[in-house]
Structure 1
Amino acid sequence: MEHPVSGMGRRWRAAPLAMLLFAALPAAAGTLHSTYIDPSAMALQRVLPPPPAPGSEAAGADMRAVETAVHARTPEDQQRITANLPCTLDRFTEVLGPRFTVEAMPVTAALIARVFQDGELAVLAAKAVIDRPRPYTLKPDLATFGHRSASASYPSGHATFGYLAAAVLGQLVPDKRRALYAFAASYGANRMIAGTHFPSDLEAGKIAAAVIAETLFKDPRFQADYARAAAEVAAPGGAAHR
Structure 2
Amino acid sequence: MRILIAEDDPAIASGLSAALADSGHAVDRVARGNDADAALHDGTYDLVVLDLNLPQLDGLTVLQRARARGESAAMLVVTAREGVSERVRALDSGADDYLVKPFVLEEFAARVRALLRRRVSQGIPMLSIGRLRLDLAGRRGWNQDAALELTGREFALLDALLSRRGSLVSREQLIEALCNWEQDITNNGLDIAIHRLRRKLDDTGVTIRTIRGLGYVVEETAAGAAAAGQRRA
TM-score above 0.5, yes or no = no
| Structure having greater relative contact order (Cα 8 Å, sep ≥ 6) | 1
Query: Counting helix residues as a fraction of each chain, which structure ranks higher?
Result: 1
With normalisation by structure 1, the TM-score equals 0.30
With normalisation by structure 2, the TM-score equals 0.31
Q: Which has the larger radius of gyration?
A: 2
